[in-house]
Structure 1
Amino acid sequence: MQIKQAVKLSNQLSGVSESAQLDVELMLCHLLDKPGSYLFTWPEKELDPKIVEQLAVMIDRRLKGEPVAHIIGMRGFWDFDLEVSPHTLIPRPDTEVVVEKALQLCTKKHARITDLGTGTGAIALALAYENPEWTVVASDFVPEAVQLAERNRARLQLGNVEVIQGSWLEPHHGHYDMIVSNPPYIDPEDPHLAQGDVRFEPLSALTAEDHGMADIKHICEQARSYLVPGGHLLFEHGYDQGPVCRALLDSLGYTEIGTQRDYGDNERVTFALWPGSTCA
């Protein structure tokens, strides 16, 4: 079978995926260990029968709804690829907005940053990648997530990142110039949890009580004791949670509160400055 014929197998996925051809191209690139340009440069190249067999197995898994990222074990984020697993969320493009806003807000050359609930390490690693002189601490409650983030850190050779285990700010010491997070923010009753890729992701990383606000409230309250005066807090949230997040931060004494929209023009990342010293 030629590469161009293999790509056409995406027709099998047309009823399952809105990006069927891209899904198959990603699988092929993974199996061939080649970039996407290879498929278009050599469309008539004959594939090894073993590759065709492996592709068929992958397509079958995708037909059952399994995310491509889990099938190939990797997902692109920022300027690199990250290993993923069913123990963590799959990094999504909109989360890059967290990274972009963090880079805008913190202009210190030698900043101390933490990423709470780091999962694959996506946010922490992107910030450390862009600022080699920053010290970044990535934490997660799930042991498997900590191990995964550490593997990604080691593979990217980012020596300015430390990965630790613990619930939110509980394992942290000292103060930070910035606290970032992509916490669980979906209401447990949200019907979208039964649709698409999220069916294969851990509910603990997706849902929170109090209509999705429980973990956000906890982080906002506790962060006051861990931010330096003039330090920033920013976090990802649901498309309709911007107003309640801004009101929450205002009630807790934060200032310079705002919300950044994602690539779909939805309110996605809310940020604020902590003006005080430490909170009792």
Structure 2
Amino acid sequence: MTISPAPCPDASQLLRRAGARIDPADAALLLAHALRRSQAWLYAHATDPVEAAAAAEFEVLVARRAAGEPVAYLTGHRGFWTLDLAVTPDTLIPRPETELLVEQALLRIPPGRPARVADLGTGSGAIALAVASERPRARVVATDISRQALAAAAANADNHGIGNVEFRHGDWWSPLAGERFDLVASNPPYIAAADPHLLQGDLRFEPPGALASGRDGLDAIGAIVGGAPAHLAPGGWLLFEHGHAQGEAVRALLLRAGFVATATERDLEGRERVTGGRLPGPAGVD
């Protein structure tokens, strides 16, 4: 008697099983990745049988996600702004709230005009590449202390054909000696070193140096603010992302450093998220 092999499960069956272990939205992303298809294709072919190799790959991905690994690291990419960025465990995972920083930067860089822009601690290149793609006449310099992160960022620039970004290795201002910029943006580490959230969720897998910064989380921001006057043109802007409870403290840092027009913008959930200030312009302007 011949025993027929068990039929291959279809996509809907795999998603239903995985949804009992991980977030269903994550499961859909992982199955689309295993199939090398878009999510739109996946939903249109939900009853198609899934080949054994793809089903096995999906099961491995689900197990890793159930153990806590971020979806972005499992798939190797994350959408940010209008870009699909490759990410690795050497880079912070781009998050939607950081798009507010890009929005605020673009408001201060007139379209169609040359500008010098810097992105400190670029990671995957998310901020630098988003700004450079929207302002092609701007010259953007992106820095990072991690050579691995810089390699990932440069690859993202190549993948998107963005040629007006230069990548430099070094800590914060050190690769920019003697240079001044019209605008500097940064998403620095801003979580307190002892914050228990660092031991939870996706944060457990992200590079610690891109997350935590001293006892109160303000060490990196303080270094950036302190060095900014030597690297901004008169009237130049400094903008950075920070924690929702740090707005008052970072505004005070900017004021003590001589910045004017300091203000904090709130994210979509109403939390203080991006603060900026302007270096005074030429005598008689401010």
- The answer to whether the 8 A contact 1:9-1:24 is kept is no
Aligned residues: 272
Give runs of aligned pairs for residues 142-161 of structure 1, distance below 5 A.
Answer: 142-161=146-165
Listed one character per residue, the Cα deviations across residues 178-220 of structure 1 (whole Å, up to 9, x for unaligned) are 0000001110011111111000011111111141111101101
The verdict on how the C-alpha distance between 1:177 and 1:226 changes in structure 2, with shifts beyond 3 A counting, is: same
Match of 2:244 among 239, 245, 248: 239
Match of 1:13 among 14, 17, 21: 21
Structure 2 match to 1:95: 98
Equivalent-residue separation in structure 1 for 2:260 and 2:215 (angstroms): 24
Structure 2 match to 1:205: 210
TM-score, normalised via structure 1 length = 0.94
Any runs of at least 4 consecutive aligned residues in structure 1 with deviations exceeding 3 A, and if so which?
none
1:180 equivalenced with 2:188 (yes/no): no
What residue ranges of structure 2 are gaps of 5+ in the alignment?
1-8
- The answer to whether the 8 A contact 2:19-2:27 is kept is no
1:32 equivalenced with 2:40 (yes/no): no
Equivalent-residue separation in structure 1 for 2:74 and 2:277 (angstroms): 38
Shift of 1:34: 2.0
Structure 2 match to 1:17: none
Listed one character per residue, the Cα deviations across residues 30-85 of structure 1 (whole Å, up to 9, x for unaligned) are 22222221122111111111000000000010111111111111111111211111
Match of 2:58 among 50, 55, 59: 55
User: What SS is found at the alignment partner of 2:173?
Assistant: coil
- The answer to whether the 8 A contact 1:181-1:234 is kept is yes
Match of 1:249 among 244, 254, 275: 254
Coordinate RMSD, CA, aligned: 1.2
Q: Quick check: which has more Rg, 1 or 2?
A: 2
TM-score, normalised via structure 2 length = 0.92
Shift of 1:22: 1.0
Structure 1 match to 2:118: 114
User: What SS is found at the alignment partner of 2:172?
Assistant: coil
State percent identity of aligned pairs.
Answer: 43
Letter of the 2:16 counterpart = K
Structure 1 match to 2:108: 105
Give runs of aligned pairs for residues 256-271 of structure 1, distance below 5 A.
Answer: 256-271=261-276
Match of 2:200 among 182, 195, 199: 195
Listed one character per residue, the Cα deviations across residues 87-125 of structure 1 (whole Å, up to 9, x for unaligned) are 121111111111011111222621110100000000000
